């Protein structure tokens, strides 16, 4: 629902969101209670808005599979094709949310390819009709037309030596010198070669997949490998840009110091050299824990100091008795004094 950006439009949008089940907690709880009473489970919804439920008996075993249609101007008893196998019990489970997204994307690609194929066929038919009309105007017979088409097809396949024009050596040499500037060192080269070989294999599989010969193509692996190649090249270009690697030398040079890099490239220092937030938060937590420990120890020692000041006369007498009596008797007296208060269990030295 799209409303104009006015006060009334904003209020209508709020009411619309409130009435929907996604934003209204009351309707969600009502739906959950209804599912419990009818002993069913909500499994998903399709692009038309239809809802799919699995019913259970009193023993907890699945019985019925049902669709609840959402009627609107574009949907009159339209069921999604991807749920039909589940409804007719050909599959145990319906497609997930992520599987549905992937299937819908494949449907869109298939529709685009079908439109392109139709346009190509229309162009071919138009060309063929124009060709026939031109030949009829010249007064050619159908046999002469067939001979002309065969001669044109044979002439395209055969290439004479006069038509072949090789690329001059100066152009090839210039392109090689330009490419050497952007080529990575040997370590990066080996990574790129290994990844590019895998991409070529996957590309061959992709072409076979389009032709309908094989279905071993993995789109996710293809994109990962392509991003890996892009990441290695981009990383090398960044190192070359910010002075870590010289452009003239193929091997990587020694990295410059951090201070020099910050002076030369302040933007790069802000983006890549500062500590990330997670490390800073962990560091702050550790410092806070140490501060809390110190505060706890300070409270213990403060309580012990107050207790010692309260009974200062007794402690002075104990120091005089130390010279005459044994240390064990003095320790017993100290423990009795400390037991009078809830102070720390520490002895006086």
Least confident segment among 132-141, 177-186, 220-229 = 177-186
Q: Which residue has the higher pLDDT, 219 or 11?
A: 11
**Average pLDDT of the segment spanning 131-154:** 74
Instruction: Supply 308's token pair.
Output: 């010692």
**Average pLDDT of the segment spanning 302-313:** 77
Q: Which helix (H) or strand (E) holds 106?
A: helix 97-138
Specify the pTM.
0.35
Domain boundaries, the chain: 7-100, 101-156, 184-273, 291-339
Q: How far is CA 315 from CA 11, 114, 298, 308, 309, in A?
A: 78, 100, 22, 8, 9
Q: What is the DSSP string of 195-221?
A: HHHHHHHHHHHHHHHHHTS-----HHH
**Average pLDDT of the segment spanning 245-274:** 53
pLDDT digits over 91-130, tens only? 888 998 889 988 999 988 888 888 888 888 888 888 888 8
Rounded to 5 degrees, φ, ψ at 112 are -65, -40
pLDDT value, residue 53:
94
Q: How far apart are CA 240 and CA 251, in angstroms?
A: 11
Helix (H, G, I), strand (E, B) or coil at 159: coil
The most confident of 160-164, 165-169, 170-174, by mean pLDDT: 170-174
Q: Which residue has the higher pLDDT, 315 or 264?
A: 315
pLDDT value, residue 132:
79
Q: Name 140's Cβ contacts closer than 8 Å, sequence gap at least 6.
A: 148
Residue 189: Cβ within 10 Å count: 13
pLDDT digits over 33-82, tens only? 888 889 999 998 888 888 999 999 888 888 999 998 887 666 667 888 89
**Average pLDDT of the segment spanning 262-281:** 59
Q: Which residue has the higher pLDDT, 316 or 41?
A: 41
């Amino acid at each position: 629902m799209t409303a104009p950006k006015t006060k009334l439009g904003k209020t209508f949008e709020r009411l619309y969101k409130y009435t929907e089940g996604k934003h209204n907690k009351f309707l969600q709880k009502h739906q959950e209670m209804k599912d419990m009473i009818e002993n069913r489970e909500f499994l998903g919804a399709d692009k038309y808005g239809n809802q799919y439920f699995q019913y259970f008996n009193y023993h907890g075993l699945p019985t019925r599979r049902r669709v609840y249609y959402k009627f609107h101007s574009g949907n009159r008893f339209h069921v999604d094709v991807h749920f039909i196998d589940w409804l007719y019990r050909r599959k145990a489970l319906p497609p997930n949310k992520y599987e549905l997204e992937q299937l819908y994307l494949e449907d869109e690609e298939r529709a685009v390819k079908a439109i392109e194929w139709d346009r190509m066929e229309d162009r071919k038919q138009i060309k063929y009709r124009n060709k026939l009309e031109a030949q009829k105007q010249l007064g050619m017979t159908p046999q002469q037309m067939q001979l002309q088409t065969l001669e044109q097809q044979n002439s395209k396949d055969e290439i004479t030596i006069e038509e072949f024009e090789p690329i001059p050596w100066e152009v090839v040499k210039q392109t090689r010198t330009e490419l050497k500037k952007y080529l990575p060192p040997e370590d990066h080269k080996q990574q790129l070669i290994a990844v590019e070989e895998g991409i070529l294999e996957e590309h061959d599989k992709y072409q076979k997949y389009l032709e309908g010969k094989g279905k071993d193509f993995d789109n996710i692996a293809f994109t990962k490998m392509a991003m890996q190649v892009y990441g290695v090249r981009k990383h090398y270009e960044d190192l070359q840009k910010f002075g870590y690697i010289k452009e003239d030398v193929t091997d990587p040079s020694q990295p410059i110091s951090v201070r020099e890099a910050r002076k030369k490239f302040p933007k790069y220092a802000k983006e890549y050299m500062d500590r990330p937030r997670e490390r800073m938060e962990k560091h702050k937590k550790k410092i806070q824990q140490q501060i809390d420990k110190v505060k706890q120890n300070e409270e213990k020692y403060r309580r012990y100091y107050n207790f010692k000041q309260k009974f200062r006369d007794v402690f002075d007498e104990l120091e005089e008795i130390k010279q005459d009596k044994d240390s064990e008797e003095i320790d017993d007296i100290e423990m009795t004094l400390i037991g009078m208060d809830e102070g720390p269990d520490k002895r006086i030295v």
